[in-house]
Amino acid sequence: MDTKTLHEQFNAHQKRARTKIKILQLLLLVCLFITWEMTTYYRILDPLIFSSPTAVFQLFISKISDGSLLPHIGVTLLETVIGFLLGTLMGTLIAISLWSSTTFAKVMDPYLVVLNAMPKVAIGPMILVIFGPNMMAVLVMATLISVIISTIVIFSAFQQVNENYIKIMQLFQANKFQLFRHVILPASTPTIISTLKVNVGLSWVGVIVGEFLVSSQGLGYLILSGFQVFNFNTVFLALCIIIVLATIMYKGVEMLERALLKKFNIG
């Protein structure tokens, strides 16, 4: 059996495995919704508190029909995407600065540890006072939650690049920029992508928390207002939309991952 045939068989096996996993994931999701519906229908779970898929779907159709839902989705999605991009970009730039200067990295090391340990949600009221009850406060919250962890993880990836690659570049008298472009960045790409995946979730957390504090629009506002009037259908509707949108963002990052790894010939 030649190499080409073995390769084709391997690809076919991998495709079958991916298809099987997707089918199992879909079946699990269907089972969860059926269980949720049946337990609330037969009042094993209190439908007043736990709502039900049917009630959530009916509310979704109602709010889409009257046009009251899309503005909330649009505001939260915009805030999340901007917060995600800002947190990742700022974290990457700070990590590059730390890598570029050993002295700067040593000076900032204890501060990064303290900032990472500090609960960002606790400074929400301070953010509200500084920026006021507007979108800027929400964006600051979303950015703060992701920027420190991005900096630490990406900088650690820069430090863990194989020293032999760096020494070879130095033998050819490569400058800092050339070393970063041709060695550090390609070698750290998988870690940066992993950070992007983590930041998807962190950005959603930051935005929703920010909307709890300051917003009069958005999915976080819907969740808070739903709790205040014990309208749990609205709460679960907002949560389901967040799950769907976060999943779409995560899949987008996965597509970016495949494109970048292919470009840098990694994996």
Q: Are residues 175 and 200 in the same domain?
A: yes
> Is 133 in contact with 196 (CB distance < 8 Å)?
no
**Same domain, yes or no: 26 and 150:** no
If asked whether residues 32 and 100 sit together in one domain, one would say no
Q: Residue 224's pLDDT is what? A: 92
Residues 99 and 130 grouped into a single domain:
yes
Q: Are residues 135 and 23 in the same domain?
A: no
> Which residue range is the domain that position 38 belongs to?
1-45
Q: Give the helix ranges, DSSP H, for the chain.
A: 3-41, 47-50, 53-66, 70-100, 102-117, 124-131, 135-159, 163-171, 176-179, 185-214, 219-228, 232-263
Same domain, residue pair 103 and 190:
yes
CB count in 10 Å sphere of residue 85:
13
Containing 101, the helix (H) or strand (E) segment is none
pLDDT, position 264: 60
Number of domains composing the chain:
2
Does 12 share its domain with 118?
no
pLDDT band (50, 70, 90) for residue 58: very high
CA 245 to chain centroid, in Å, comes to 10
Cα gap 226→233, rounded to integer Å: 8
Are residue 253 and residue 192 in the same domain, yes or no? yes
pLDDT band at 7 (very low <50, low <70, confident <90, very high): low
CA distance 249 to 76: 13
118/6 same-domain check: no
Same domain, 216 and 236: yes
User: Looking at residues 211-215, what average pLDDT do you find?
Assistant: 83
Section 135-142 average pLDDT: 90
- Do 40 and 61 lie in a common domain? no
Tokens representing 185?
């960045």
Q: What angle do CA 252, 253, 257 make, to 5 degrees?
A: 120
pLDDT at 134: 85
Retrieve residue 97's tokens: 């600065």
The answer to whether residues 74 and 172 belong to one domain is: yes
Which of 45, 66, 81 lies at the terminal end of a domain, its last residue?
A: 45
